[in-house]
Amino acid sequence: MNMITNHPPTAELQALDAAHHMHPFTDADALAKNGVRIITRAKGVTLTDSDGAQILDAMAGLWCVNIGYGWDSMADVAARQMKELPFYNTFFQTSTVPAIALAQKIAELAPGDLNHVFYASGGSDANDTNVRLVRHYWAAKGKPTKKVIISRQNAYHGSTMAGASLGGMTAMHAQGGLPIADIVHIGQPNWYDEGGELSPEEFGLLRARELEAKIEELGEDAIAAFIAEPIQGAGGVIIPPSTYWPEIQRICDAHEILLIADEVICGFGRTGQMFGSQTYDIRPDIMTIAKGLSSGYAPIGASIVCDEVANTVAHAGDFNHGYTYSGHPVSCAVALENLRILEDEKMVENVASVTGPYLKEKWEQLADHPLVGEAKIQGFMASVAMTPDKAARAPFAAPKGSVGLIARGHCFGNNLIMRHVGDRMIISPPLILNRSDVDTLMDRAVKALDLTLAEIKANGLYA
């Protein structure tokens, strides 16, 4: 087998990791006790760990490796750019060829008049840019009172102070004194958990109209923007009812507020079109992008900004904001090559009309599994909600996430990476997943669900 064998033994690596490496979103004591899993290489859709296990990565890393692992040309482009110009800044009336070329390419791909790119290093800091940009925009329009940004409960917009504040994760707000000022949250279009007796369509309208109610409550002259993911990703792949986005768009059109689509996950093919906004007919004024922009091969994010906002800000003097790595030439070159591959290999079209429909057919059959209350999918992002009582869509008696954690363990045990969010299991596989990969994924997913069901029957959680 073609493996790197010159690394220390797994146990030694685990001990060193526990001693020196602080992990994001992790209970460090629990991790140290269980031992971290060490990924050593990857090719296509398959990871290899330090013990040689071959794991199907149905999460595309962290929603990002859209083109899959192991493209030599990505490495070649990075190496060439590093040799030619590893870094130069974009602050002081300077630019670089990759930063220019990528901005042009992004403007070409983005819908409508989203023609202007402000670079960041990832999605969180791109959303920080958005907070400052929209407030600066309204101030430049002579409306400095328009500062409030409306977001949604259980949204994910990153982990910086502004990103986590925009997000609607209560566990994140509880640490570090969040949200920051002038960010408010309305309900999410999560029919399964919160829709009660309403139909999904009724519930979608109800939740969309919370935006209108919030605008009326605070006054239009206080509000800068509404931000939302086309499909909530980290919130559990919450696919909104069909009525939700048309109503949100109507409300945004009827009021003087900006619409920010956080496309960090949905962008670059995940929903079956280049952007989630195209899948849902959303016309955003600003888009946040990251993840699939480089397929995770190099860190990069950006805000794509419409003509009106960019031009207004352009005429308003210095925008006192930027990152050292805004427009990093290596990341930009890598992102450009990523987009070339995405287009040349017709990956988005493939998700839309070949592998996407095949995965959908299989995934929706999971709804018949005794443990599954709902199985939803759009393009290449999908979720199942686990329940002890399908009809009532009831939660388990154990604390939320206990069964999800058990299921994730069985996925790991069967060489499948699926993530759990609470007691939902979610996937977001590389867009290159082929039919036979889909079959493997589904076999392992069903096996993991079966094992989970057996375990919770044995311990009394499935009455």
Only one of the segments 44-52, 83-91, 116-124, 308-316 lies at the binding site for ligand PLP (rule: CB under 6 A); that segment is 116-124
| 91 secondary structure, DSSP code | S
The total of other beta-carbon atoms located within 10 Å of residue 308's CB is: 13
**Beta carbon nearer to ligand PLP, 46 or 124:** 124
- The answer to whether residue 158 forms part of the interface with ligand PLP (CB under 6 A) is yes
* Cis before 179 (ω within 30): yes
Kindly tell me which of 382 and 406 has the beta carbon lying closer to ligand PLP: 382
Give 183 or 206: the residue with its C-beta nearer to ligand PLP.
Answer: 183
- DSSP state letter for 198: S
**List 124, 188, 190, 350, residue binding ligand PLP (CB under 6 A):** 124
Window 411-440: residues binding ligand PLP (CB under 6 A): none
DSSP H or E run through 402: helix 402-413
Tokens of 67: 């083109």
* 264 or 309: CB nearest ligand PLP: 264
| Least gap, CB of 126 to ligand PLP (angstroms) | 7
Name which position in 119, 156, 245, 323 contacts ligand PLP (CB under 6 A): 156
The reply on whether position 230 binds ligand PLP by CB under 6 A is no
Kindly tell me which of 296 and 356 has the beta carbon lying closer to ligand PLP. 296
Tell me the two tokens of residue 368. Answer: 């018949």
**Whole-angstrom distance, CA of residue 176 vs CA of residue 62:** 24
Does 327 participate in binding ligand PLP (rule CB under 6 A)? Answer: no
Sequence-distant (≥ 6) Cβ neighbours of residue 326 within 8 angstroms: 89, 90, 91, 118, 119, 120, 121
Q: For 378-392, give the DSSP string.
A: ETTEEEEEE-S-TTT
229 vs 423 by CB, closer to ligand PLP: 229
Angle of the 435-458 helix axis to the 402-413 helix axis, nearest 10: 130
**Residue 296 binds ligand PLP, judged by CB under 6 A:** no
Task: Tell me if 374 contacts ligand PLP by CB under 6 A.
Answer: no
- 240 near ligand PLP, judged by CB under 6 A: no
Helix (H, G, I), strand (E, B) or coil at 373: strand
Q: How far is 350 from 207, CA to CA, in rounded Å?
A: 33
Give start and end residues of each alpha helix (H) in 167-298: 170-173, 191-194, 200-218, 244-254, 276-279
> Which residue carries 């997943």 as its tokens?
433
252, 264, 381, 385: residue in contact with ligand PLP (rule CB under 6 A):
264
CA 14 to chain centre: 28
Specify the residue, 147 or 157, whose C-beta has the smaller distance to ligand PLP: 157
Which residue is closest to ligand PLP by CB? 123
How far is the C-alpha of 129 from the C-alpha of 123, rounded, in Å? 10
Query: Would residue 179 be called left, alpha or beta, if left means φ above 0 and alpha means ψ between -120 and 50 degrees?
Result: beta
Least distance from ligand PLP to the Cβ atom of residue 221, Å = 28
DSSP conformation class of 426: E
Residue type, 405: L
How many residues form the binding site for ligand PLP (CB under 6 A)?
16
Among 55, 60, 265, 416, binds ligand PLP (CB under 6 A): 265
Q: How far is the CB of 267 from ligand PLP (least distance, A)?
A: 9
- Binds ligand PLP (CB under 6 A): choice among 102, 150, 225, 234: 234
Window 1-40: residues binding ligand PLP (CB under 6 A): none
What track of x and - describes contact with ligand PLP for positions 48 through 67 (by CB under 6 A)? Answer: ---------------x----
Write out the residues near ligand PLP by the rule CB under 6 A: 63, 122-124, 127, 156-158, 229, 233-234, 262, 264-265, 290, 301
